Amino acid sequence: MDHGPRALVITAAGINCDLELMHAFAAAGARPEAVHLEALVREPARIDRFRLIGLPGGFSFGDDVAAGRIMGALMRRSVYPALVAAIERGVPIICPCNGFQIAVQAGLLPGPDAGAAWPDAAAVPTVALAQNAGGSFRDAWTRVEIPANTRCVWTQGLELDDATGLLPSAHGEGRLVAGDALLDRLEVDGQVAVRYHDADHFNGSMRRIAGICDPSGLVFGLMPHPERFTRWTQHPRWTRLSPHQRRAEPLGLRMFRNAVERTLVAT
């Protein structure tokens, strides 16, 4: 594709969902390019060339210390200022699964208080993604809900039903944990971007939160994988869906389409 906004997909050792993320960006009309974190550490200004950014899932650096912690620490020390500059110029950033864990450790989520400036140095993490309730890895399609007041540009305006409002989840450390005061603020400020349906709330996340955004609504971290639901044939029961249900785009693709369309409007 030789047109559309450029999308940066940041890779590193252990990342294994970069191709899926690139496909999702391309399906939504963007031009994805994978760049290794080491290259960005040497030249953070490369980030300035892109209108969209993705932190893929996987097992960055083997999750040896804790999920996402090593890559998050590397980003805090090297590319954090360039990423903040990207957010300030309106670049949407998506961080699925391990990307969410990395974004929390890198200081990108939940971000500063609404109306406050980004700090010059990454803040100490205030949200944790802990081991799932039950202590086991889970790979399943999960029904999700979009809060009516969300400010997340990736999920705004999406209407869901029980049959098509699904996303695949695959993680062992996805239980969102935070203090009640912070969770209250996130809810009031519209930073809760997606919740698990009550019946599919398998990991024990506080308040069923599956994903959050920063105060601008641009940075979106979630444990499910929207990049794995960009075609109806990926739906676990796609042959049973009615033509009416398949008339709209799949939920994952609609999320990426939201972000791409925002960059075009902002041009």
Return the active site residues: 97, 225, 227
Q: Under DSSP, is residue 142 helix (H, G, I), strand (E, B) or coil?
A: strand
User: Tell me, what DSSP letter sits at residue 58?
Assistant: B
Query: Token match 């050792």: residue?
Result: 13
Query: Token match 């990454």: residue?
Result: 122
Let me know: does 92 contact 82? Beta carbons within 8 Å.
Answer: no
Q: How many Cα atoms are found within 13 Å in the side-chain-facing hemisphere of 117?
A: 5
Helices (H), the chain: 18-27, 37-42, 69-78, 80-88, 98-105, 180-188, 251-266
User: Tell me, what DSSP letter sits at residue 119?
Assistant: P
d(CA 227, CA 23): 8
Residue type, 53: I
Contact partners, residue 48, CB within 8 Å, separation at least 6: 82, 85, 86
Residue type, 204: G
